[in-house]
């Protein structure tokens, strides 16, 4: 079957923070639509008012904007589409695809417990489908609460097309007559989801493998409405490195975790798009490059994909080092201004110098705070600090060496060259000399080159820090 007008959708519920699985779902729908010159739309599934965590889906919209995943049509809100759902529900009722269910939650739970005890599949036993018209009329007259259920029928099967699993057939005898409405009259996720997909002419549905069991019922709804079935891709579940389903206990489960830790949106999308698939010659790709590179005709069929934070850190490191300098400066400045308020007073040129000097050593934006701490906070150095990295017998000799050449620090290379020459004459290992210089300037034995440090600090500040060593 050839589909010329590709339409995909991202349909989150505003019931919690965006997590990595949702990011992956949104991303794959976006990339597929982009690759096929189709339409990517956003639909907010907010029919469960009691659980709505994000009224108006403001956080969802912000997250998608931050990830650079732009949708092609204005967002749809299911809470605004009740008339359509009622109209479509009536069609099911008129065609005997729906029936009233008066069973209470307590009754349903007892039945379910009994079925489990008897080692039977826990499915609704269709008690209310078997009620007579007179029984139903009496229950209604008594104002007995009820919901509408889907009548799946018996001895039926339905087949869907899945990009990973191929042709998949469901025997509907193995599935329960699911709820179409709640007792307050609002419609369920299963029903609204299907009605919207039909109304919005969605051609492809990409979502997690955990939704596969929902698909049988929704496919039955498509059939009941005599609507063409979309093509599915039930994507492998994201798991932690131990193979367990990713959860709130795992770092990076929520997008907010990653944002706060300083991961770039490009890196997150890049990583999420390439895990679990085929190998790539170049793994670092923009959204445009991903859309042009991913092959959706041959999908990996694994039931799970392992989320490796270290691989994500590597991808983020690569993106940091290829980021536009101005863009990187703005991101670092915004991320660190609470930690170091003085960063807002630095010139663009000065901040660029600091960032570009240390960026090869960082994997997240957050790590710039540690790498640049020495610039904003003067380290307090003692002989004990130096002794952690140098032989005690060399410390006084090295401090004397610094003192004899300190006045030349503003001469740049001449300062370092003179220290090197004298150190060589006195048989002081250069490694010890540079370690002492770096500890004095930054408080740490490793980091940028000495000439770069002096440039970053400025000769006046570097001199002040070295002069403090005279009092040790």
Q: Are residues 65 and 108 in the same domain?
A: no
Find the helix packing angle between 189-199 and 82-94, rounded to 10°.
Answer: 100
Q: Are residues 370 and 455 in the same domain?
A: yes
Q: Are residues 61 and 93 in the same domain?
A: no
Residue 155 pLDDT level (bands cut at 50, 70, 90): confident
Q: Are residues 75 and 88 in the same domain?
A: no
List the CATH number of the domain containing 352.
1.10.10
Tell me the CA distances in angstroms from 92 to 158, 269, 430, one per residue in order: 18, 41, 84
Within-domain flag for 272: no
Q: Are residues 90 and 226 in the same domain?
A: no
pLDDT tens-digit profile of 342-364? 999 999 999 999 999 999 999 99
Within-domain flag for 62: yes
Task: Give the mean pLDDT of 124-139.
Answer: 96
Indicate whether 1 pLDDT > 60.
no
Counting Cα atoms < 13 Å in the Cβ hemisphere of 425 gives 7
Within-domain flag for 313: no
Extended beta strands in 83-131, E state: 98-101
Within-domain flag for 367: yes
Residue 2 pLDDT: 61
For residues 239 and 242, give the distance between their C-alpha atoms in angstroms, rounded to a whole number. Answer: 7
Q: Are residues 423 and 372 in the same domain?
A: yes
Residue 278 pLDDT level (bands cut at 50, 70, 90): confident
Within-domain flag for 276: no
Q: Are residues 361 and 411 in the same domain?
A: yes
Q: Are residues 359 and 466 in the same domain?
A: yes
- Beta strands 304-306 and 204-208, pairing class: unpaired
What total of structural domains would you count in the chain?
Answer: 3
Q: Which tokens hold the place of 259?
A: 């944002």
Q: Are residues 62 and 199 in the same domain?
A: yes
For residues 412 and 415, give the distance between their C-alpha atoms in angstroms, rounded to a whole number. Answer: 6
List the CATH number of the domain containing 88.
3.90.800.10
Residue 8 pLDDT: 98
Q: Are residues 379 and 459 in the same domain?
A: yes
DSSP count for the chain of H helices, then E strands: 21, 11
Q: Are residues 426 and 352 in the same domain?
A: yes
Report the Cα–Cα distance between both ends of the chain, in Å, rounded. Answer: 81
pLDDT tens-digit profile of 18-59? 999 999 999 999 999 999 999 999 999 998 878 888 989 999
Residue 213 pLDDT: 85
Indicate whether 3 pLDDT > 80.
no
Structural domain of residue 197, as residue ranges?
Answer: 7-29+37-79+188-231
For CA atoms 65, 66, 67, 68, the dihedral sign is: positive
For 334-384, the DSSP string reads: HHHTTT-GGGGGS-HHHHHHHHHHHGGG-SSTTHHHHHTHHHHSPPP--HH
Within-domain flag for 263: no
Residue 303 pLDDT: 67
Q: Are residues 110 and 66 in the same domain?
A: no
Task: Give the mean pLDDT of 314-329.
Answer: 98
């Amino acid at each position: 079957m050839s589909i010329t007008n590709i339409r995909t959708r991202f349909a989150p519920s505003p019931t919690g923070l965006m997590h990595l699985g949702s990011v992956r779902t949104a991303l794959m729908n976006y990339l597929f639509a982009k690759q096929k010159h189709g339409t990517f739309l956003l639909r907010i599934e907010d029919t469960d008012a009691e659980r709505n965590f994000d009224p108006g889906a403001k956080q969802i919209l912000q997250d998608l904007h931050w990830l650079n995943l732009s949708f092609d049509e204005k967002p749809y809100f299911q809470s605004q589409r009740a008339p359509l759902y009622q109209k479509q529900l009536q069609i099911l009722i008129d065609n005997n695809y729906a029936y009233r269910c008066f069973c209470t939650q307590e009754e349903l739970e007892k039945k379910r417990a009994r079925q489990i005890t008897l080692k039977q599949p826990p499915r609704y036993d269709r008690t209310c489908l078997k009620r007579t018209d007179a029984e139903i009329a009496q229950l209604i007259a008594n104002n007995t609460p009820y919901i509408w259920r889907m009548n799946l029928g018996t001895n039926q099967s339905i087949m869907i097309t899945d990009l990973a699993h191929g042709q998949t057939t469901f025997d509907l005898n193995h599935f329960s007559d699911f709820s179409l409405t709640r007792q307050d009259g609002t419609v369920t996720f299963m029903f609204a989801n299907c009605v919207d997909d039909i109304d919005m002419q969605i051609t492809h549905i990409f979502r997690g493998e955990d939704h596969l069991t929902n698909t049988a019922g929704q496919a039955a709804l498509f059939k009941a409405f005599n609507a063409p079935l979309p093509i599915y891709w039930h994507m492998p579940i994201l798991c932690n490195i131990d193979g367990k389903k990713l959860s709130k206990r795992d770092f990076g489960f929520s997008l907010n975790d990653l944002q706060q830790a300083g991961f770039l949106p490009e890196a997150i999308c890049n990583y999420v798009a390439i895990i679990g698939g085929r190998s790539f010659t170049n793994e670092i790709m923009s959204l445009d490059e991903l859309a042009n590179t991913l092959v959706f005709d041959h999908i990996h069929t694994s039931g799970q994909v392992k989320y490796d934070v270290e691989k994500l850190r590597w991808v983020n490191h690569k993106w940091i080092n290829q980021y536009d300098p101005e863009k990187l400066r703005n991101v670092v400045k915004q991320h660190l201004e609470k930690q170091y308020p003085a960063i807002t007073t630095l010139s663009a040129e000065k901040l660029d110098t600091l960032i570009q000097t240390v960026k090869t050593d960082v994997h997240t934006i957050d790590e710039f705070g540690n790498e640049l701490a020495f610039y904003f906070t003067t380290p307090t150095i003692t002989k004990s600090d130096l002794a952690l990295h140098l032989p005690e017998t060399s410390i006084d000799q090295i401090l004397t060496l610094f003192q004899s050449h300190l006045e030349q620090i503003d001469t740049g290379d001449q300062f370092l060259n003179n220290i090197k020459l004298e150190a060589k004459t006195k048989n002081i290992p250069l490694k010890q000399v540079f370690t002492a210089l770096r500890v004095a300037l930054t408080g740490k034995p490793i980091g940028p080159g000495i000439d770069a440090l002096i440039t970053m600090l400025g000769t006046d500040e570097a001199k002040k820090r070295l002069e403090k060593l005279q009092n040790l």
